[in-house]
Amino acid sequence: MIIRDKPRAWELAFAMRGSVLPHIALPLLGVVALAGVMVLLDHHFGVLPHIEGIPFTVFGIALSLFLSFRNNAAYDRWWEARKLWGGLLADLRSLARELEVFAPDQALRHRILLQSLAFLHLHRRQLRRLTDDAEAQSRAPELLADPHPPCSALNLINADLAQAYASGQIDGFGARSLTARLASIALAQAGCERIAGTPLPFVYSLLIYRTTYLFCLLLPMALVGSSGWLTPLFVGIVAYVFLGLAEVTEELSHPFGSTLNALPLDAICRAAEISLAPHLGQEAPKPLQPNDFHLS
């Protein structure tokens, strides 16, 4: 995720970190070049039909409304994913405090907290579809071969709680509170998996990109009569807006990815490590800092 203040006026033209321009540069140049060729043909041969701007106005309004709808849907996914990870962080902090109250055995508390951190990193690894993750490998190497490593980590925590309850280390009220906390963690986990496993319908992307390119490729016919050689410039501006917005929604619809605008899952995991360090008797690690404005 990009972490930076509002860019100053001169930075607006040159800020590339987190911008969609590198992703749409080639299609944008292609649209501008084609508009230039169309203007050239019209200037020398007069073969380009000149169309009134009203149809393109209606077309552009309809396209912008559909892009706005898709942008809202994508942002809802991104924001829900952030709330779910915020809930996971809050649950882990509450779990550590509840263990201090209900589990007098320090070894049991530490084991559960270490397993909970392992779960968080395994969950991050699964959502990002990483095959080689050093943090998950160091915390739970024995779980990586399981069919569902994050669930295996939660199962270990549940087994420890069940054994502690059976042996009398935790009373009934404590067991109920801790298992309810575990259920809340599992619910947030399932919500994240739902988002990761259910992308926006492909038909939306197909329709958006088809209509956007169609609009941009036909637009010179409406501008060439009044704008002349400036037509490629105006077509480029319109294409930048529409193609850029389509690319933004594509990134936001995958909140757990590794793009610059994806959620900072590494930083959230580090925040959990910092919060749980006092309960483990460890020195808290340093918070992750943005690297060239990017917080991973």
Residue type at position 15? A
| Closest among 116, 121, 120, 96 to 106, alpha carbons compared | 96
**Domain hosting residue 212, numbered range:** 9-280
- Look at residue 9 in the predicted model and tell me its pLDDT: 64
pLDDT tens string 177-222: 999 999 999 999 999 999 999 988 888 888 888 888 898 888 888 8
pLDDT tens string 95-152: 999 999 999 999 999 999 999 999 999 999 999 998 888 898 999 999 999 999 999 9
Within a domain: 42:
yes
Within a domain: 90:
yes
Q: Which residues pair with 294 in a beta bridge?
A: 2, 291
Q: Which two tokens mark 228?
A: 């002349």
- Phi/psi of residue 4, nearest 5 degrees: -160, 160
Confidence of residue 14 (pLDDT cuts 50, 70, 90): low
- Look at residue 174 in the predicted model and tell me its pLDDT: 92
Within a domain: 243:
yes
- Look at residue 221 in the predicted model and tell me its pLDDT: 87
- Look at residue 278 in the predicted model and tell me its pLDDT: 95
pLDDT at 176 over 70: yes
- Look at residue 86 in the predicted model and tell me its pLDDT: 96
Domain count for the chain: 1
How far is 38 from 42, CA to CA, in rounded Å? Answer: 6
Within a domain: 228:
yes
Share of the chain above pLDDT 90, in %: 53
Higher confidence at residue 53 or residue 38?
38
Mean pLDDT is lowest, of 39-53, 64-78, 198-212, for 39-53
pLDDT tens string 253-295: 999 988 888 899 999 999 999 999 999 999 999 998 888 767 8
C-alpha gyration radius of the chain: 26
- Look at residue 185 in the predicted model and tell me its pLDDT: 97
C-alpha distance from residue 161 to each of 86, 113, 165 (Å): 24, 12, 6
Within a domain: 295:
no
Within a domain: 109:
yes
- Look at residue 19 in the predicted model and tell me its pLDDT: 77
Within a domain: 164:
yes
